[in-house]
Amino acid sequence: MLIKILGSGAGGGFPQWNCECANCRAVRAGAPGFAARTQSSLAVSADGDNWVLLNASPDLRQQIAASPALAPAGNGAVRGSPIKAVVLTNGDVDHISGLLTLREAQAFSVYAARRVLDVLSGNRIFDILARNLVARVELPLDEKIALTGAGLDLGLSIKAFPVPGKIALYLEDASAPDFGTKEGDTLGLEIIDHKTGRSCFYIPGCSKIDAPLVRRLEGASLVFFDGTLYRENEMIEQGLLGKTGSRMGHINIGGEDGSIAAFKRLGVARKIYVHINNSNPVLNASSKERETARAAGWEIGEDGLEVLL
């Protein structure tokens, strides 16, 4: 299985259009050790010919242009695409609005939890994906299903599972417990290659590494994990937004309650942070936070990084 990081940034990307935090200023100025990042998405393929997107970011058109493997196949047809399926982990703008780029009467499948499919149905703009061509498939929870798209077996299965998190920002209900968050609003994914039996995990949003998640990840070969913030309070401390990480549905990387500490005894062979927010000090290659993460065996995801599993 081949996995490519299309976008390693969180919502807004890096730099973010309206942000002048130290990181955004540095990357705009081309400072060494700072790499621009588009928004959160992976592409996965069992055979190198047909691809599955894990989330569809607003930067998808740019990400496709930067990935020759995602261009039409050059087989003589005037329309076509190697993208045969999209799997969504939640209803966030940075994970679903790239679907609007995949219009133009092309067949593929969209997999999502029932609650996220309801968001697509409730927002008529997504009808730009012709109902007779684009299958909308409900992801069962904790059940392995084979991925298909445009009539093809894609050689991969997905097992989706709920993780602690939060409903999409634009759907928050201030009067409801947990802002209206329900099971299925935030998913982790295990992607399994039929031929090799190998699997990896993709969890771009997760507010807590609880006991069920620990059991799932123990001994995993490869995990792409929520690297949104380094510190619970960094957005507040930098004057960017009055919200903590847990309020936004994201665990921090550092500290006793962070993901570095939680993964320490999980025996995961390869660990890569994705969905990295512009405020995160690990975006600076010479920061002590980057060094701490590296020393704990973590890689900081970059756009274009390819992993063969």
- The site map against a second copy for 111-150 (x = CB under 8 A) is --------x--xxxxxxx----------------------
In this chain, which stretch among 102-110, 149-157, 158-166, 215-223 interacts with a second copy, using CB under 8 A? 102-110
The nearest distance, CB 261 to a second copy, in angstroms, is: 29
- The site map against a second copy for 213-242 (x = CB under 8 A) is -------------------------xxxx-
In this chain, which stretch among 15-23, 45-53, 179-187, 199-207 interacts with a second copy, using CB under 8 A? 15-23
**What does the block give as tokens for 295?**
């020393």
| Cβ proximity of 226 and 248 under 8 Å | no
Rg (CA), the chain: 18
Rounded Cα distance, 22 and 167, in Å: 29
In this chain, which stretch among 17-25, 186-194, 262-270, 282-290 interacts with a second copy, using CB under 8 A? 17-25
In this chain, which stretch among 42-50, 94-102, 134-142, 291-299 interacts with a second copy, using CB under 8 A? 94-102
38 CB burial (10 A radius; 0-12, 13-18, 19+): buried
The nearest distance, CB 106 to a second copy, in angstroms, is: 5
| Cβ proximity of 212 and 263 under 8 Å | no
- Tokens 């969890």 correspond to 203
Residue 176 touching a second copy (CB under 8 A): no
Examine residue 72 and say whether the peptide bond preceding it is cis (omega within 30 degrees of 0): no
285 CB burial (10 A radius; 0-12, 13-18, 19+): middle
The residues binding a second copy (CB under 8 A) are 11-13, 15-21, 24-25, 28, 36, 38-39, 58-62, 64-65, 70-72, 74, 77-81, 83, 93, 96-97, 100-106, 119, 122-128, 169-171, 238-241
